[in-house]
């Protein structure tokens, strides 16, 4: 998807002066970086917990963010699964942090539909917590076994 699209816009005065100070070849990079930051930081979500729309970064712990990602895929209902049109583009971008990718997807979803993505059932993060506890228990058992074998 390496097409060149030209956009015309009227920058705000402070952006105009900023763009005039940098090399013309860097202007596209500066604008792309600003848009990427916007997509990452503007993510809103409704996790069906009665609070309504919340900020993805401040409103969810790591376990809930992980559950959101799972809902975009195999564990989601038909309404929750990520739209291939948006998700495939998101997967090709940098960085490789999947929470950043989720945030960008959520922002694009909201821009496209005019409302935040909404979970069909409450996102609790319990499955992630349980899996984390099980992995910790297995590590503890292996560590104890290796200490007894010494």
pLDDT at 2: 61
Give the tokens for residue 59. Answer: 């409103």
- Which percentage of the chain shows pLDDT scores above 70? 97
Best mean pLDDT range from 53-67, 90-104, 131-145: 53-67
Give the tokens for residue 98. Answer: 């999947």
In order of 69, 119, 123, the CA distances from 76 in angstroms are 9, 9, 11
pLDDT at 146: 85
pLDDT at 7: 82
- Cα separation, 86 vs 39, whole angstroms: 13
- Which percentage of the chain shows pLDDT scores above 90? 61
Instruction: Give, in degrees to the nearest 5, the angle at Cα 139 between 136 and 143.
Output: 140
> Which residues lie below 8 Å from residue 65, measured CB to CB, with a gap of 6+?
56, 99, 102
In order of 35, 70, 96, 139, the CA distances from 63 in angstroms are 27, 11, 18, 20
> Which residues lie below 8 Å from residue 88, measured CB to CB, with a gap of 6+?
none
Write out pLDDT tens, residues 31-77.
989 999 999 999 999 999 999 999 999 999 999 999 999 999 989 99
Whether residue 108 contacts residue 86, with contact meaning beta carbons closer than 8 Å, is answered with yes
Confidence band of 107 (pLDDT split at 50, 70, 90) = very high
Confidence band of 4 (pLDDT split at 50, 70, 90) = confident
Domain locations in the chain as residue ranges: 1-41, 43-125
Write out pLDDT tens, residues 65-96.
999 999 999 899 999 999 999 999 999 887 78
DSSP secondary structure code for residue 45 in this structure: E
């Amino acid at each position: 998807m390496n097409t060149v699209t030209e956009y015309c816009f009227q920058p705000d005065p402070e952006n105009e002066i900023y763009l005039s100070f940098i090399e013309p070849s860097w202007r596209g990079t500066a604008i792309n970086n600003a848009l990427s930051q916007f997509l990452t930081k503007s993510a809103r979500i409704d996790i069906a917990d009665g609070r309504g729309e919340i900020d993805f970064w401040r409103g969810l712990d790591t376990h809930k963010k992980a559950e959101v990602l799972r809902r975009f895929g195999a564990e989601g209902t038909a309404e929750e699964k990520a739209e291939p049109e948006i998700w495939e583009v998101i997967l090709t971008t940098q960085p490789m942090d999947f929470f950043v990718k989720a945030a960008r997807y959520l922002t694009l979803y909201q821009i496209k539909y005019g409302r935040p993505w909404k979970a069909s059932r409450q996102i609790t993060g319990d499955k992630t917590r349980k899996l984390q506890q099980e992995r910790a228990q297995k590590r503890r058992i292996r560590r104890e076994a290796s200490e007894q074998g010494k």
